[in-house]
Every structure is written in C-alpha cells, then in structure tokens.
Structure 1
Amino acid sequence: MSAAEEIGSVASLWRYPASSLGGERLDAAPLRTDGVEGDRLFGIVDAATGVIAKPDSDRKWHPVPRIAARLDGGALEIKVPGGNWLPAPSDAADKAASSFLGFDAAIRRFEEGTTLEAPRYKKAPIHLLTTASLAELKAQHPGGDPDPRRFRPNIVVDMPRVPGHFPETDWLGRRIAIGEVELEITDPCRRCGFTIIGQDGFEFDADILRTLVRKNRHNLGVYCEVTRPGTVRPADAMRFLD
C-alpha cells in the first residue's frame, strides 16, 4: 500500500463536552494538540461526596449517558430524557440531573490541580475507531449492536471490513493524515464496562465486552496524538504517512 493511498474516509465526528454524558455529533471537528476543541470540559459528580461519575464500575451511574450534552457558543447545555436544554453548571441543570438519576448530582467544570480533573484524557487526546472494526465485532457477536456511541470515539473512519481483524489495532506507531490534520497512533483503546451500558436505541449487553476480551485482547479502536492540528470534516480522506 502506497503512502498516498486512501484507506478510508471520515464517517462521523464526535465530542463529549461532559464526561460520561451523551456525545455531540459534529459537522466539523477542530483538532488541537490537546484534542477536539471543547471535548471533556465538564464532569458530573455525586453531590454528597464530590466523587465523579463512574458508569463503568458503578451501576447507579448507568443512566448518565442518556443525558445529552452539547456546547452552544462555547457554553455547556444538558438535557435529560423528556426535558429541555438547560445551561450548565446551574441549579436547574443539577436539579434535572438529580431527578433523573434518583440521587443528588451536580455538573462541574474540570479544573487543573484540583480533585476534579481528567488526567486520563491527556495521554492520548483523540480516539479513532473504524467501521471495519465495528463490522468485525458484529460478525463475532451477531446478536449485539456495536453502535459507535458505546465506544465514544472522536473520529469514526469508514473502511471495508477485514474479516478476522480489527485493523486499526495493527497500526500502532504509524502516522496518518485525515484531511489537513496529521495524527500518530500511540495506543490501543482498552475497553471498560461503559461499553455494555444501554443507551437510547440499544440495550445493555455484557457480551459486547466479553467478545472484545476474547477476540481482541480487550481492545477496540486506538488513541492518537495530534502532530499537525487543523479541522477534520466528514468525508475527509485518511491515508498513511509512512
């Protein structure tokens, strides 16, 4: 395969203004060296303890991804199922989230050097996932629904299935270009219990994670560093640089 050959194109772009809440599909994604602009600026915490949501390990947080989040002119808004968009952080947003979850919760901004920060997102700020891997997961677990929202990617790349393979897992250390942006693929994305949680349109499914444990060493998708910032758009071509 030549360095200039197109290997896929962008199918969808996502950011997650509030960690664990629903993601926001984008028409264009400005990528900086620290990730998608506006990604994971806020978190939701247990108001009684200040502990951040852990839906991967604590069932009380399983409904959280059903709370929608978006940025409107740079300001966060959230919406619980059946509710209206509310500015956050705010008393109204906290009240709506608490009522939906069944316990006191609060939206808070991540702050450097405090107990509420998100260092786990700094190591590799972009998560890339291919439709080829989603198709392989479906082939390995035909009864499941590998909706990309289970995996919270920033960039979903459309490419043909490679039977028996999760292709991007084999690209570690490689450099790619997507439109005007350049990325280095640094790590596999090790999946956690978040992937099994039901959201609007698909149900709880523990076999999603069990399949990835058996078939791809717990992994799906890859983490990337941004080596040349810029804006990515749907249908932008992806190619290898090395």
Structure 2
Amino acid sequence: MADAAARGTISQLWRYPASSLAGERQHAIEVGSRTVDGDRLFGLVDATSGEIARPDREAKWHKVPLIRTRLSNARELEVAVPGGGWLAAPGAESDRAISAFLGFAASIRPFRQDDAAPDYAGPLTAERYVKTPIHLLTTASLARLKTLHPEGAADPRRFRPNIVIDMAPVEGSFPETEWVGRKLAIGDLLLTVSEPCRRCGFTIIAQDGFDADPGILRNLVRHNAHNLGVYCTVDRPARIEVGATMRFV
C-alpha cells in the first residue's frame, strides 16, 4: 500500500512534441509503459548535413528552445518562431521560418513514420538518445538550487521535466536524488525511480523569460554531482492530472 501521507502534489505537467524545442504545458498527460503520449515525436536537423539539433553542445542551436511547439487535436505538430504564428510541421513553410530564425537551413522531421501526418513523404531522422519514460522534478530541488544560486532563474523549463511535484523544501537537500530504487504512486500511476538525471549544457541556455546562466550548471556540478531531478520507469500506466498527490509505495 502507499504511505498514508502525501509527499507532494503535481504542480506542472509537460510534454515535448519535438526534441530540443520548447515544451507544451498540459493539465493532464497520458503516461504509457514506454513514454508520455505525444512526447518527443519529432527532431530538428541541419538540412544540409542531417545533423540533429544539439543545443547543449553547439552555439548554432542555442536559439532552438525559443521555438514553441504544440500538438493539434488531430495530433499534428505545429511550431512557432518568436514573433511568428503557428505553422504546420513538418512542412516547407515551417522549415523556411525556422531556417530564417536560426540563420541556416533547418528542417523538422519525424522520428517514425507513424508519428507524421498521413500524407508526409519526407525523410525521417534518428532519435539522439534512448529516453527514459518519465522525468520527474520537485520544487524542493528547485528551491535548493535557488538557495545556492539566488541570482539565477531556477525555472523548470531549463530542465524539461514531464512531472513537477510541489513539495516543501528540504534543508540542504535535493530530495528526489535520494529516491533512486523507490516506488512512487501519483494518482493511479505507479513509477520506480531508476536514476538521477545528469544535467548538461542545455540547462544554461536562455529561454523565453530568462537569460543564459552558466551558474546553474556550475552549482549542480558542485553540490549534486551534476544532477537535478530523476528518471522513472513505469510499473502501471495511467492518466494523471495537475493536483494529483504523490506518495511513496
């Protein structure tokens, strides 16, 4: 049985229809056994080389997280560059807008044919890495980072979680880092915390509302072995909503 006392509640839910581009905040998400529904279906590539976007490593990709994404009711991707309207993607018009924004030829491509629109006949691209089903982050860890780096913006968007759990700060601790191996119940969803989430250079990049900040990663390296948040595997899939409680099992 789950512990009687709730340890926190869901304050934010996110999915990321296209890797490295801005995420889409949700009131509810469907969590399957392998991934969140609608999560990381597309990639952005250099149209000349086929290289997939790497904002964590190359400056030419640093503006990519400013490109917004959403899935339509028909589960088709739409993107918007700053100052522009929503455009269907993949498509020539959206590729032109993204290329103009980045300053070089770039293209949105699906990872799998099944995720593209029925009439899509363009190329696919390979996923950059094998993702763990769920990335969970607590406000307690964000509060700890803010204590260590008060001048910085400890915004969840830097870290691209699927689930943000609102819980009281734990003095001197990034609490979920200590949960590896434990099981969590969130509503009807059952998860096992599998490993800490090792952070990369993506966390320091500017996004809408906050500037580039190397101090974010520097403090995580110094005080939490590069880590913030945890990855989880799914023991029991379920739909979860903002406000659902989290308990240890």
Aligned to 1:152: 160
Q: State yes or no: 1:88 paired with 2:89.
A: yes
Q: How does 1:132-143 map to 2 (within 5 A)?
A: 132-143=140-151
Measure how far apart 1:119 and its partner are.
6.1
Aligned to 1:117: 126
Deviating more after overlay: 195-204 vs 2-11:
2-11
Aligned to 1:33: 33
CA deviation map 1:82-103 (0-9, x unaligned):
0010000000000000000000
User: Cα 1:119–1:230, aligned 2, differ >3 Å: closer, same or farther?
Assistant: farther
Q: State yes or no: 1:67 paired with 2:67.
A: yes
Aligned to 2:181: 173
- Match of 2:99, SS state, is helix
Aligned to 1:79: 80
Measure how far apart 1:226 and its partner are.
1.0
Report how many aligned residue pairs link the two structures: 238
Measure how far apart 1:34 and its partner are.
1.2
- Match of 1:194, SS state, is helix
CA deviation map 1:181-229 (0-9, x unaligned):
0000001000000000001100000010000000000000000011100
Measure how far apart 1:163 and its partner are.
1.1
- Match of 2:18, SS state, is coil
In structure 1, what is the Cα distance between the partners aligned to 2:89 and 2:31?
24
In structure 2, what is the Cα distance between the partners aligned to 1:69 and 1:201?
16
- Match of 2:129, SS state, is helix
Q: TM-score, normalised by structure 2?
A: 0.93
Measure how far apart 1:5 and its partner are.
1.7
In structure 2, what is the Cα distance between the partners aligned to 1:26 and 1:121?
23
Letter in 2 for 1:86: L
Aligned to 2:120: none
Structure 1: any 5+ residue segments left out of the alignment?
Answer: none
CA deviation map 1:69-114 (0-9, x unaligned):
01002100000000010000000000000000000000000139x9
Measure how far apart 1:115 and its partner are.
7.9
Q: TM-score, normalised by structure 1?
A: 0.96
Measure how far apart 1:3 and its partner are.
2.1
In structure 2, what is the Cα distance between the partners aligned to 1:150 and 1:83?
23
Q: How does 1:1-242 map to 2 (within 5 A)?
A: 3-73=3-73, 74-111=75-112, 116-118=125-127, 120-122=129-131, 124-241=132-249
- Match of 2:164, SS state, is strand
Structure 2: any 5+ residue segments left out of the alignment?
Answer: 114-122
Measure how far apart 1:135 and its partner are.
0.3
- State percent identity of aligned pairs: 57
In structure 2, what is the Cα distance between the partners aligned to 1:77 and 1:121?
24
Letter in 1 for 2:237: P
In structure 2, what is the Cα distance between the partners aligned to 1:108 and 1:4?
46
In structure 1, what is the Cα distance between the partners aligned to 2:220 and 2:17?
27
